[in-house]
Chains A and B, each alone.
Chain A
Amino acid sequence: MESFDPGVIAALREDLLADALRGILRTFEADLARLLGELVAAAQAGRRDAYLHAAHAIAGAAGAVGLTGLEGLARIAMDPDQPEGPAAIVPRILAEGRAGLAALVREIG
């Protein structure tokens, strides 16, 4: 299942010039790589605050560009009462991140 909301990109296209939107996409790509790295490192080191902070940032950034699947998984991770531990949720976030980013690149170019 591709968890991508094309409505969000359509709205951004209305608001912003194509170049600006592509610029934001490139920045998002860099952000996502960095934040996923921080999430994994924090999970491995057991640093709870850093883990929650990275999940929070991923949820916000992904939602802003319409990656609803990634946003949803990140929200599970940032919930302190989550039933799934980092060992279960982090691989799913990484996979969803890769898939979502690919979908976004296809959509925006």
Chain B
Amino acid sequence: MSGARILLIEDTPSQAELALAQLRALGHEVRHAATGREALAIAESWRPEVALVDLGLPDMKGFEVMERLDGPAMVVVTAQGSVATAVEAMKRGAGDFIVKPWKRERLHATIESELEKRRLRVELRAAKEALNPSRFGPFIGASAAMQAVYRTIQAVAASKASVFVTGESGTGKELAAEALHGASPRAKGPFVALNCGAIPKDLLEAEIFGVVKGAFTGAGESRDGAAQRADGGTLFLDEIGEMPAEAQVKLLRFIQTGVAQPVGGGEGRRLDVRFVAATNRDIQAEVAEGRFREDLFWRLYVVPVELPPLRERGADAVLLARHFLAVFAKEEGKGFRRLAPEAEAVIQANPWPGNVRQLQNVIRNAVVLHEGETLEAAMLPAALLRGAVPAPAEPRPAATVPPVTMIEAAPPPIEPLAAMEKRAILRALEETGQDVAAAARLLEVNPSTIYRKLQAWKGQAT
């Protein structure tokens, strides 16, 4: 192996000159830094494969430079050949240790050996990453549950099949849609996301299909909807369960014919759109209840992708927390570089009812409120340390928010006990993001009771 990028960190000019001449004679590309700061700057931009580090630098200790270098194999070169120095060098991450003066053969053998070790490390990391990627598009997570998600997204990306994403609030349903779009041949086309729950029901059709001038009061100009804007790309319909019945009919027709009809009539336009829908509701229960059209459901539910809650993603919580820490520290101009092991243990142990969004909020909060290089457990919210953080307030779908009224409401009409029971169970499931165990706790029943009831209702529906 030859022609490696080598960073020589040496402050004595004659030593540097000699090493440069020898390394270049061995065929390597070499850059020289006479101070620790200079070395870190070169390493940042040039990404050397091997760093030869002299321990006695004028501005900082060689060991300190080694701790801050990220990536190269490190070889300590020093006139101090004591066992203690060698042990310390190895502890700080040096792959080898050369005592000055060195022979050219020794230098050559050491560099070749370090390059080989580095190559193997890089290959091993790449192989592990290929088998169990810790990142996929915008996702971060190496858990088995997320690997299954990545595999499904990858497998279905090339097709035009509709994808239906389910999962609790905060699990990243829109990210899944973006990942799918990004991995698809449509990646260069538009990705248009529309939250059906955030748009007033009577405006939803116009938002999706566009509007013809004069179609209704206020429609002063013709304009495209999300469907037209997504032509050649992906249309992501979030909170699809909130879509009113009339819009469902129109969407079904669009999916069947490929022609989007703007509100107010006019010429429909044939569009090439891939559909991704998502909901945190039990969409099959919505179909069974008659609130969501079954024919539309089957058109959209071609490939289901279920996003696991964070509590089922093992060590992903810590991976995500580290990522958020780096991002928010940069955004907020703070010096945080790492999570303390105790903080990681707390993060790992928490059930995260609000999922990734909650974790994101907790880390941002800690970054904003504290200073330092290490985010300690004590900087996390007290409730988290007690193992019970309330999930962040979620914007509830309009349909589930009871209307606020100043008039005392009339008592609800008497209804069959079975219907009340069903309503209570479905409400509890909705409240807990379809978490049967949590819903059972709210209802003070055994989870098996809920499973039994769900099974029975499914039987009635078929």
Contacts and interface: CB of A to CB of B under 8 A. Distances in A.
Interface of A: 8, 11-12, 15-16, 20, 23-24, 27-28, 30-31, 35, 53, 56-57, 59-61, 63-66, 71, 74-75, 78
Given A11-B104, A15-B104, A60-B100, A31 B12 contact: yes
Contacts of A15: 21-22, 25, 104
Given A27-B14, A57-B56, A63 B101 contact: yes
A81 to B, nearest CB: 11
A31 B79 contact: no
Contacts of A31: 12-15
B388 to A, nearest CB: 52
A60 B101 contact: yes
The winner among A12, A66, A74 for most chain B CB atoms within 10 A is A12
B17 A8 contact: no
A56 B103 CA distance: 19
Nearest to A68: B101
Interface in B339-397: none
Nearest to B26: A15
The winner among A8, A12, A64 for most chain B CB atoms within 10 A is A64
A60 B103 CA distance: 13
A37 B11 CA distance: 16
B104 A24 contact: no
B18 interface: yes
5 contacts: A15-B25, A30-B13, A31-B12, A57-B11, A65-B101
A63 B25 contact: no
Contact of A24 (B11, B14, B79, B101): B14
B78 interface: yes
Contacts of B14: 24, 27-28, 30-31, 61, 64-65
A18 B56 CA distance: 29
Contacts of B78: 56, 60
B17 A23 contact: yes
A56 B78 CA distance: 8
B455 interface: no
B448 interface: no
B18 A64 contact: yes
A24 B103 contact: no
B80 interface: yes
B121 to A, nearest CB: 29
A73 to B, nearest CB: 13
Given A8-B101, A31-B12, A56 B80 contact: yes
A24 B80 contact: no
Contacts of A61: 12, 14-15
B21 A20 contact: yes
Interface in B11-41: 11-15, 17-18, 21-22, 25
B100 A24 contact: no
A23 B104 CA distance: 18
B25 A60 contact: no
Nearest to B104: A15
Interface in B280-321: none
Contacts of A12: 18
A53 B100 contact: no
B18 A78 contact: no
Nearest to B55: A56
A71 to B, nearest CB: 8
A27 B56 contact: no
A60 B13 contact: no
A86 B15 CA distance: 24
Contacts of A27: 13-14, 17
A56 B11 CA distance: 12
A29 B164 CA distance: 75
